[in-house]
Structure 1
């Protein structure tokens, strides 16, 4: 049964940086190609990554791949700073800037394109939200909301605009395009990260309070990859029996 189509595909080449929208990409065993493939280890918390939770301004840094996808090595990663400066991920000035702003020592880490297990993806492989649910959240919160706050990989435009219809898919599989299949595993439980506006890094705790009170702290669904392949914006999304 067709339930919708892919409206936007988002990957985050650097964990906790603002993601890039792509027209097409590969779905790997670990999720969207290159998603959270680069990250910063937080030396204040051994073994842990620096994220928006510790440094909210991370949400304003934008990361993108500059080049074609390759299974041997990632394309060059370009960073656009909050001030609009474009620099290479490997540029020492980026590390120094983030260390200075966050008041933490950090170490960059990169995972390979075919890396299994997950690398810096700490939950399920893919997170998705739907347009109807985003619109309903705007209504119940009473404010405009940039859905990038929720850091999903897929925005699905529903055929029937029923808010939170995706929650009924938990335990089932969906097919995207001609190849890819993912299994919907569980609700995404939210944290303070959604309170950070990625456009200016300002926090509004009322969004999290709203999601906790009216949505049992659930927004979005986590999914695991069953079949890999290419996906494109506009691909049909079919709910499988």
Structure 2
């Protein structure tokens, strides 16, 4: 018997990796994840992707989170929006001016996945409310954690309830089925300023101390299908 654990409250897609995303009411989900999610990235001459950190795969490019991306025609070439929310005519040309470097361009995913880990990130309101409670002086909403699905959980649900779902399959809506695998190991990206959210090291510090730097539920897609706001999520 299915155990309903919450309702999809908001759906987020990030057409250009490491930029702010777009809020959706409905989207199709295939084996790769939300259709078009992180399908594009800012790439430098060395093949590294723009991010808030420097690693083997990523190059720190401060300011990307002040931008947003969206698909004007469902899925195709994404638009890049400047900090005022205006679409720029040439994303690559704009980024070269904005970042002050002439070796970057907006690139479509090829052999190397743009995902840091697994295709879907799911975050509950129970966990998000806990973060707000432990850093009350810092504005916090789900944009800091960049989930695909924010799930409204019943009153009284404990924080980090996502941990209890690992190893289970979940039905979302009438067709979509996912397998919940593990949580994301968080990094400095969640501290970064973006639009109306200020920079704060307190967010990562709190999660590190309370939950071993991990937060959300990462999932793979078992059966593709659509997801829309208001869909129930039920453990199978």
What is the aligned partner in structure 2 of residue 205 from structure 1? 201
Alpha-carbon distance, 1:160 to partner: 4.5
1:8, 1:189 → 2: CA distance?
22
What is the aligned partner in structure 1 of residue 95 from structure 2? 95
Q: How many residues align?
A: 226
Cα shift readout 1:83-128 (whole Å, capped 9, x = no counterpart)? 443214x44432322341xx462132113xxx8x773113101011
2:147, 2:91 → 1: CA distance?
27
Match of 1:150 among 132, 141, 145: 145
TM-score by length of 1: 0.87
8 A Cα contact 2:63 2:99, kept in partner: no
Does 1:170 find its partner at 2:166?
A: yes
8 A Cα contact 1:80 1:86, kept in partner: yes
The 5 Å alignment of 1:121-140 reads 121-140=115-134
What is the aligned partner in structure 2 of residue 78 from structure 1? 79
Q: Secondary structure at the match of 2:150?
A: strand
The 5 Å alignment of 1:176-187 reads 176-187=172-183
Q: Over aligned residue pairs, what C-alpha RMSD do you find?
A: 1.9
What is the aligned partner in structure 1 of residue 16 from structure 2? 14
Compared with structure 1, are the counterparts of its residues 156 and 201 closer, same or farther at alpha carbon in structure 2 (3 Å cutoff)? closer
Q: Any runs of at least 4 consecutive aligned residues in structure 1 with deviations exceeding 4 A, and if so which?
A: none
Alpha-carbon distance, 1:202 to partner: 4.3
What is the aligned partner in structure 1 of residue 63 from structure 2? 57
Match of 2:215 among 216, 219, 226: 219
Match of 1:26 among 11, 18, 28: 28
In structure 2, runs of 5+ residues without a counterpart are: 54-59
In structure 1, runs of 5+ residues without a counterpart are: 69-73
TM-score by length of 2: 0.88
